[in-house]
A and B are shown apart, each in its own frame.
Chain A
Amino acid sequence: MHKTTLEKANSAESMFSVSALNVKNKKTQKLYSVLFLMMTLLLILPVLVILGTLIVKGGSMISIDFLFTDPVNGMTEGGVFPALLGTVWLVSLALLVSVPLGIAAAIYLSEYASDNWFTRIINLAIINLAGVPSIVHALFGLGAFVMFFGFGTSILAASLTLAIMTLPVVIVSTRESLQAVPHAFREACWNMGATRWQTIRRVVLPNAVSGILTGVILEVSRTTGETAPIMFTGAAFFLPFLPQGIFDQTMALSLHLFVVSTQVPNVPEALPYAVALVLIGMVLLMNSVSIALRMYLRGQKKW
C-alpha cells in the first residue's frame, strides 16, 4: 500500500524534529564538555594558589637589596645574591655544554641517520635518559665528575651533571622542530644538487631556529630549579664568598631554598617564601622570554 501525500508530508515533518535520543545525546555531550572544562580549570588552580601564597607571604621581603646582598646572621637575614649568582653560573655552564651537544645529536638523528636498530637504540636511550630520576643523575655526577675526573665538588661538576640531565630535553625538542620543517623544502634543495649539510645549513636550521630556541629556554627554566643533582656535586650549604672560577663551589637558589626552609633555625617566616619567589620569578621570566621569542620568530616566517 502506498501512503497518501498527506501522510508523507506528516512523516517528513517528524523526520526532522527532535527525538528523545537526540535530547539525551545532547545532554551527554554537554556534560562531558563541562567536565573537561572543570579539569582544565583544576589544572590552573595550583599555579594560581602557589603564586598567590608566595606573593602574599614573601612578597614583602623582595627588594633590590634582597637580590643583591649576601645572607647574614646564619642566613636568617640579608639577601640571596651568592645563591642567585651561583644559579646563573650553573645554568649558563650547563647550557654551554648541553646545547651544542644536544643540537648536534638532534641534527644527526633527524637529518642524517636512517631508521635502523642502531638509531632506534639511541632513541630509546634518550627517552630513558629523560626518565632517570634527578637523584640518580646526582649520584652519577658525584661518581663521574667529582671523583673519577677529579673536578671535586665544583661548579664544573655540578654543571656537567645538569647538562647530562637536560640533554634529552634539548635533543627531543630540537628534533621535533627540525621535523616540523616541511619535507618539500628539503626535496627542493636536494633536487638542486644541495648536499645534506647545505640543505641543513641554509634551509632546515633557519626554519627550525625558533623551535630550537624555545626548547633551550625551557631547558634553562628546568635547570634553574633542580636541586638534587647539584647538592652532591657542587652546590654548598653556605659560602661566605663568591665563586672565583669553575672549580669553586657555589651556593644556588634551589638548594638555598631547601636550606632556609628546613635546615636553619629561627628563620623569619617570610624568608623561604621570598627565596621561592625569586626562584619562580626567574623561571617565569625565562618562560615569558621564550614565548615572546617564539611569537616574534613565528611572525617572521610564512609558508
Chain B
Amino acid sequence: MNTAHDYAITTEKLNLWYGSFQALFDIDLNIRNGMITSLIGPSGCGKSTFLRSVNRINERLGYVRIDGKINVQEQNIYAEKVELVQVRKQIGMVFQRPNPLPVSIKENILFGHKLHVKDKKYSAADYNDIVEKSLRQVLLWDKVKDSLDQKATALSLEEQQKLCIARLLPVKPNILLMDEPCSALDPKGTAAVEELIWELRGEYSILLVTHNMAQARRASEECIFMLMGKVIEHKETSDLFVTPDKKETADYIEGRYG
C-alpha cells in the first residue's frame, strides 16, 4: 500500500478559471514518486493547463484564478509563504517546441545553475563537470562534447529538446513536467527522447502530457485520462489501455472521438 510519501504530486479539489471560463473541475490526483505518469485526452481537456499549474507558470497570464491545493512533496505550492523561484527550481518544465537559449550549449546547461548560485565559487573544472554530467544523463554528451561552445540553436530539434531537458538537471529538480515534448520531432527523434525519459524515471518524477496515445502507452507507467476539465480515469498504463473502467475512456482510446 502507498503511503502519502510515495506521491510526488497530490491535488485536492483543484479548480481553475481563465477569466470566467472554468478549465479544471475538482481535480483530485495522486501522482506517484519516481514514475512516469502520462496525461492524455482530447484538445482542450485541460491537461496542459493542469501541467502548467503544477509549476505555477500559468500565473504569468494574470487572469488565472485557482482554488484548491496542489501539494508537491506534501507541501502546498499555492500556500502564501511559498517562494516561486524555489517552486520553479524543484519542478522543471520541458516545452512542446524546444526552446534553447540563443547562447552556447555549455552556457545553456550552466544558465539555471548560475542563477541559483551566488555565494559559492566554482572553478572552470567544476563547471565542466556539471556540463558533462548533465549531457551524459540526457545521452547527448558523445555527440556534442567537441562543440560545447557552439550555438545551441544550431542543433537538430531532437538534440535541442534533449538539451532543454539537460538544462534542468543542474539545479536538481525532483519533478519534470513535459508538455508534449516530442510533438515537434520526427519518429527517430521521438524514439530517442522517449528512451531518455524512460532512463530518467526513478530519479525524477515525470509528468508527461501527450496527444499521442501510442506514446502514452509506450512511455509511461501510469496514465491519467482527462476530458472537459475533469479527470475521468487514472490507473496503470497497461491497465488503462486494456481494461478501462469508464465508457468515455474506452471510446477515446478506441478513437471514437477526440
Contacts and interface: CB of A to CB of B under 8 A. Distances in A.
13 contacts: A185-B102, A188-B95, A190-B57, A190-B60, A190-B88, A191-B92, A193-B86, A193-B171, A194-B115, A198-B115, A207-B102, A302-B102, A303-B153
A191 B102 contact: no
B102 A301 contact: yes
A203 B99 CA distance: 12
A184 B60 contact: no
Contacts of B171: 192-193
A282 interface: no
A192 B60 contact: no
Interface in B76-95: 85-89, 92-93, 95
Contacts of B112: 192-194
B92 A115 contact: no
Given A192-B168, A193-B116, A303-B153, 8 more contacts: A188-B101, A192-B89, A192-B111, A198-B115, A301-B102, A302-B102, A302-B151, A303-B102
Interface string A168-203: 000000000000001011011111111100100011
Interface string B98-122: 0111100000000110011000000
Contacts of B154: 302
Interface of B: 55, 57, 60, 62, 85-89, 92-93, 95, 97, 99-102, 111-112, 115-116, 151, 153-154, 164, 167-168, 171
A202 to B, nearest CB: 7
A100 B145 CA distance: 41
A202 B113 CA distance: 13
B101 A193 contact: no
Which of A187, A188, A203 has most chain B Cβ within 10 Å? A188
Nearest to A186: B60
A202 B116 CA distance: 14
Contacts of A191: 55, 57, 88, 92-93, 168
Interface string A116-152: 0000000000000000000000000000000000000
